[in-house]
Amino acid sequence: MKRYNTGYYIREGVSGIFAHGFMSFASVCIIVACLIIMGSFSLLSFNVSSIIGQFEKDNVVIAYVSDSLSEDQARALQSQIEALPNVESAQFTTREEAMQKFEGNFTDKSLFENIDSSVFRHRFYVYMQDISLTEQTTNDIRGVSGIAEANSNLAVAQGFVTVRNIVRIVSFVLVAILLVISLFIMSNTIKLATFDRREEIAIMKMVGATNGFIRWPFVFQGFILGLAGALVAFIAQWILYTVFANMLLKSNAMSFITAVPFSSVAIPMFAVFIALGFGVGVAGSAMAIKNYLRV
Amino acid sequence: MVQLIDVFKAYENGTKALKGVNIKLEPGEFAFLVGPSGSGKSTIMKLITGEIAPTDGTVVVNGFNLVNIKMSKMPFLRRSLGVIFQDFRLIQKKTVYENVAFAMHAVGASPREIRKRVPYVLNLVGLDQKAKMRPFELSGGEQQRVAIARALVNNPSLIVADEPTGNLDPARSLEILMLLQKINELGTTVLVVTHEKALVDAFSQRVIAIDNGRIISDGMDGYYSYEEV
């Protein structure tokens, strides 16, 4: 692209925006709406993953050591357990510590006066990398020699995984649908501009303009509209999310949920919005002008 | 410069527009292409400008073989041509200067080249005083002069004019053809498509007559020869 042509492309692109002011405004609004919906679902998905991640940390497999093993022998099993696939770490707890922890759940200490810690077993709290593999990991732990039993809260783990998968799929489908809608609207806006300037395009072709020279002003037009939509959407998303997160924070019913601060996702979200705005703008305009270049 | 060798053209609807046409135009020549409506004049124009491809035969224009020309080379063929249309095809929202400069912009000329070349060409066609006016403020003859200036501005070696006087009165038509003759005298090859007998006969130039897709006469005898066939 020649340096002195760039100014011409931008001027023509901007004049194209104002020549069809209403359609330009409509396409920016559509991009804003689509990006906000996409962003909201992405933030929801991100928050759900974050909450599930927190729950995942608390979701453990408890591996009970066989009574026949001494404490030292029991401790020695740690390396075997940690060597199993999907095991993040294993934390050893003696039968005495287990009893203390159990007693801690009750206020009436007299209940435990005649109970000896020998009724409890040494145990490992096993943390996993991926809770969707809980069942497999539990079976693997059961297979370790010296482990009498292994228990896990399989239903809870499966529930978390199902929720996360649903949110991911819904987000993905919505993002894909909204992208197509944005692309369609952008393409139609540019099509209107190209239709209005079809004579000009025909003359350009006749005097020997390259397809690139004809295409660039429309690409700039789409680029500017896409960028404007992305910036407005990002600011609106920031405000909406902050308001919603504050409401969540003040709500007693949802006190166990904490929203991820917007600042922690702002940069990647800004980059994605700009990239999508740019992509929709440029791809939409390229699609729109294609037919006029076949002369 | 321009060579059509045994060219046939059949359209998708079955119309056989050209049936073995042979034309050779040497550099610096001035020629009229005459014939009644539907004789194949416009098809020849479109073949020369690369808008359509021949069904059979060879078309060579300014060194470009249009039978197998790549789409990426088409802009370069068109930069070597200046095309003038009956309906002027000017951009109404642009001034006379901008309409002419636009053709230079489109081929990537620098602003300096444009500032130098456009006033020269407008002066050549006698419109230097009307550079800031818009096409709708001009007469038909003046609008056609703008179109000629636009065709000329990129310094093409060949100008093809499709019925350039079709929308003008006889006096303005004569002016336009005299202007094209002046351009030809400056070294540009000119091919004018027309069906105006009186106008053609006013110039002692080569006349190629076509009818029903075939060349029926080619010589310096004016339009008359076509009428007698």
User: Residues A135-173: pLDDT tens digits?
Assistant: 899 999 999 888 988 888 777 767 777 887 888 888 788
Among A5, A203, A205, beta carbon nearest to B108: A5
**pLDDT band, residue A2 (cuts 50/70/90):** low
Tokens of A197: 């300037």
Q: Are A216 and A11 in contact (CB under 8 A)?
A: no
Q: What is the pLDDT of residue B228?
A: 47
Contact call for A206 and B105, based on CB within 8 A: no
> Using one digit for the tens of pLDDT, what is the confidence trace for B92-149?
888 999 999 988 988 888 889 999 999 999 999 999 999 999 999 999 999 999 999 9
User: Could you report the per-residue pLDDT of A25-66, keeping only the tens digit for each?
Assistant: 888 888 888 888 888 888 887 887 787 777 767 778 899 999
Q: Which domains does chain A have, with CATH numbers?
A: 3-54+159-293 (no CATH), 60-152 (3.30.70.3040)
Please give the ipTM for the structure prediction. Answer: 0.81
Q: Which pair of tokens denotes residue B58?
A: 């060879």
pLDDT of residue B202: 87
Shortest Cα distance from B228 to chain A (angstroms)?
36
Q: How confident is the model at residue B40 (pLDDT cuts 50, 70, 90)?
A: very high
Residue with the two structure tokens 């350039």? B164
The mean of the pLDDT values for chain A is 82
The structure tokens listed for A174 are 């919505």
User: Looking at residue A113, what is its pLDDT?
Assistant: 72
| B1-80+189-229: CATH class | alpha beta
Asked if the model's pLDDT at residue B200 lies above 80, the reply is: yes
The per-residue pLDDT for A255 is 60
pLDDT band at B224 (very low <50, low <70, confident <90, very high): low
* Chain segment B139-166, per-residue pLDDT in tens: 999 999 999 999 999 999 999 999 998 8
pTM of the model as a whole? 0.66
- Identify all chain A residues contacting B118, using CB atoms and an 8 Å cutoff: none
Q: State the pLDDT at residue A281.
A: 80
State yes or no: pLDDT of B38 exceeds 80.
yes
Structural domain boundaries in chain B: 1-80+189-229
Cα A189 from Cα A74, distance rounded (Å): 71
Chain A residues in contact with B77 (beta carbon < 8 A): 208
Asked if B51's CB is within 8 angstroms of A203's CB, the reply is no
Residue B202 dihedral angles phi and psi, to the nearest 5°: -75, -15
Q: Is the pLDDT of residue A108 over 80?
A: no
The partner residue sitting opposite B107, judged by closest CB among A4, A209, A211, is A209
pLDDT at position B229, please?
44
Beta-carbon-side half-sphere exposure of residue B134 (alpha carbons within 13 Å): 5
How many C-beta atoms surround the C-beta of residue B35 within 10 A?
24
Residues in chain B whose beta carbon is closer than 8 A to a beta carbon of chain A? 49, 51, 75-81, 83, 89, 91, 102-103, 105-108, 110-111, 150, 154
Torsion-angle region of B56 (φ positive above 0: left; ψ -120 to 50: alpha; else: beta) = beta
